[in-house]
Structure 1
Amino acid sequence: MRYLLVLIFCLNSFALDINGRLSIKEGETSWLEGDIKEVELLVWPLADANIEDVKNAIENKDFCEYFFIGKVKKVVFSKNNPEALEIHADATLKKAFSERKLLIWSYLALNIPIDTSSIKTVADNQKIQEFITLSVERASATHNSLFIMLGLGLLLILLVGFYIRFRRGNKVHENNQDWKKIVLAAESRDEVEYIYANKDEVVKFFGGENPSLLELFKRINTHQYKKEWNEDELEDIRFVLDEIKESLQ
């Protein structure tokens, strides 16, 4: 571990003497955000560098935070200086930066300062405006979508409420129709006693107690505990029941 730390320290100390310079080929100096330029990266002294390793370390990767290096066209040692490594590649400016900003390229264990003083980066205000406009439009669309969702949710709640009320109304109506049929069809002792056993619901069906109902329940209660009903007892109940049937017709 101690030897590894010493090695890293030595490499970083060595890197203090290594410099780099990034420039646009064909004499251009201005670089707009998002544009692709052919660049030359010159690094020296780097005489022992492996060309393939350097290419793999830089191609199709971000470079110094502000650039993206695409296709690397050539990696060679300079004819004028055998210790200087020339890298020719296509690069994209990801975002503009201050001309005084010091850029560092981390290669292996080396932190190499890169001089970009010959390049003037320019922020693309149109793209920024488009981004702001798009953000506002997205926010507006999200806001509108939220209102639409709330509206649909409220509509769904109302529809469910109406459906429940409709079903309850139909159920009450169906129950009313059932009790009407039951009362109109009642003739036997079992049918009459069934009405008495459900007198609370029958009262609701008639909208409350009335003299005829009270009299019917009274007469049924008088005879219901007898083992058998004779015809006179059954007729006594039918007399009041017939009055109730007439009111339903």
Structure 2
Amino acid sequence: MTENQGRKIERDAILQERSVAGVAILRIASKPLGVLRISVKKALRERLAALETDPAIRVVILTGNGNAFSVGSDIRDFEADEGWLLAAEDEEKKLNEQIEMSRLAVIAACNGHCHGGGLVLAMACDLRIAADSAVFSLPEIKVGAFASAGGTQRVCQFLGKGRAMDMLLTGRALSGSEALEIGLIDRIAPEGELIDAATELAKQIASLPTEAIEASKRCVNEGLRYGWAQGIELETKYAVSLGLSEGAAEGQKAFLEKRAPRFNQD
């Protein structure tokens, strides 16, 4: 990989759209089919980093364009070079970990094709809602590869070893209804209503205390990654900071006054 390729960022491949208060929509618009070239992954990381510092944003909806969420890496981009392979793996791993470690709740709104690295990206998100026409697979084995950048680990966490191996070793595709049934996705919506359904879910989350969203997300993700003991230790830390937060004070006051709480008023 040349130095110029390593620096390139396809900023026009990630579109940011306005949504309801507290919510941003990022759309993967790279062609064809939302492919995740290294330069596209860099652009998505850049957009997410900017939203991370925006106090007005609490939830991100990540979706695709046309008939695809993302089909993962572009095989035509592949280079049989150790440097390129390590750089590609590193960039994808950093992207997925950035989503998991973010303070923002990230919802994958999976339209159409969701394959390979695109599915791994969706699994790195906090929630997955899919159109009923969506199709999911980890087909890397069919081209002599495998679901790296955390793919093998995440799919086992989602599905258990047997079902994960079924997807990894056959590369077979799942319909939206089968993905919902086995727990690969969390919700399903009619094709034309996907963004509306995702926005309604995002709006519900964004109305809740920012600190509590972050605490819940980080305790779950760090517990899954580093084990029960670390998850419990982090819960203890957040139990104190949340208990002393403005959100907790407003929630308690609203409960006693028998009214709806007014969070995130700054």
Bin the TM-score by the shorter chain: under 0.3
User: Taking structure 1 as the reference length, what is the TM-score of the superposition?
Assistant: 0.20
User: Taking structure 2 as the reference length, what is the TM-score of the superposition?
Assistant: 0.19
Say which structure is richer in strand.
1
Structure index of larger Rg:
1
